[in-house]
Structure 1
């Protein structure tokens, strides 16, 4: 059985007001996302930081199968919702989508899910031509992914939205051009200006589906397991992970790995190496001149 979890725990700081109840073409963002998901399954869950946020959103969009409250005080951000959902649900497959994606449609989302299934993927996400990986859109075989959910106990504040993807063997990244030609389908709305961006048609080029090799995954797992007892080696393994993702042109994941290495070097008082990584991260950000 498949469940879709709508991640809705953010505070909309850049938008200036609660964006999930903001109306887009006459309907709140959260309701538009819910409608797209409901054409695929009736098992739809709302993932939020606290009960107050849940009550606000349920006031404009009901019909959810349940509400999932972030369970882990040690970590912040969407990864809390992802891990809590994997631990809470009992279904075979879990798909997460962000609540601030009002132009998503059931056809494109269903194609993403079907592609992951056809590949027999344990996990999957999507990527843009720039190498931006939208790590809030995730597909998981729950029993496989939940084994990695405990990584947060080691990574703590280092935990990122991409952690389960980076830990999963047999993970695939699907180019958005395989799923839609509409620029806006998978765009996140972070500011009011994002709503007025052009409805651009994407290139008809067909970049490949990317399958990450297990040695890259092993580097993330080795680095993470060394955080408590061998920080210098953890830093080196994160560096190697970042270089491999850079070679694969999955730049979001490379940036996350380099940020982890930088944190390790800072804890080791190796500020020169940390500063070098600042330059590397800045370069990658320049490459991610994507739809925003």
Structure 2
């Protein structure tokens, strides 16, 4: 197994690898990007930044499939205990299994995660319940963020009990959130490629092209 890299031992990475994309009709985790599964690209990058890594899936069959793809990585793969509840359930499940105080939460379709930006988010969460990007007055990015384990886990449980599936119903329950302006993010990731995700077939083709040219992801 590959050893998880990094000297900071108080960090967990949580990858939300739920079901099929409604728009694409396929499971994003298993999209091939130049010979490698998308979920492996995400996991590979996160292993450089965290001491523990948890992948959350929605069913046992997918757990088995993900285990095959990630068999060379020393990670945990867990199944949602709260069914059909979306990302809130995935975050809750990941936090339940986490052993560290601070946990980064990332979607499975982010092929250009930036190591420096991830480190910045963990540093920015110290002393806060969460560190979350603010794009504008209306939109914030909860699936490339860092959360303090216990407060966010309690908030997710409250939302689940109230049948509220919106992530920001959880975030609103947190007392101390560090909202990071997008202008500050651009100083580390000028093109904001870390947030580029897959929603269409055109996105897949674009990512394949860009990934082929990116020296950061070549083995």
Question: Could you say whether these structures have the same fold, taking a TM-score greater than 0.5 normalized by the shorter chain as the test?
Answer: yes
Contact 1:127-1:174 within 8 A present in 2 as well = yes
What's 2:166 paired with? 160
Note the aligned Cα RMSD (angstroms): 2.2
The 5 A counterparts of 1:168-187 are: 168-179=174-185, 180-187=189-196
Matched, 1:23 2:32: yes
Deviations 1:79-112 (A, max 9, x none): 1011122223232111110011111121221122
Q: 1:90 to 1:163 in 2, by over 3 A?
A: farther
Equivalent residues in 2 for 1:1-292 (5 A)? 1-62=10-71, 63-73=73-83, 76-117=85-126, 120-129=127-136, 131-156=138-163, 158-179=164-185, 180-195=189-204, 196=206
Q: Measured at CA, do residues 129 and 60 of structure 1 come closer, stay the same or move farther in structure 2, by a change above 3 Å?
A: same
- Unmatched 5+ residue regions in structure 2? 1-9, 211-219
Q: Which has the higher contact order (CA 8 A, sep 6+)?
A: 2
TM-score w.r.t. length of structure 1: 0.61
- The 1:19–1:149 alpha-carbon spacing in structure 2 relative to 1, beyond 3 Å, is closer
DSSP 3-state at the match of 2:195: coil
Deviations 1:226-253 (A, max 9, x none): xxxxxxxxxxxxxxxxxxxxxxxxxxxx
DSSP 3-state at the match of 1:147: helix
- Residue 175 of structure 1: CA displacement? 2.6
Instruction: Determine which structure has the larger helix proportion and give its number.
Output: 1
1:40-89 deviation line (CA, Å, top 9, x unaligned): 1231111111111122222222314211211113x511110111222232
**What are the superposed Cα offsets for residues 167-199 of structure 1, whole Å, 9 maximum, x if unpaired?**
101112213442311232212212222242898
Q: Using the alignment, how far apart are the partners of 2:197 and 2:167 within structure 1?
A: 15
How many residues are aligned here? 195
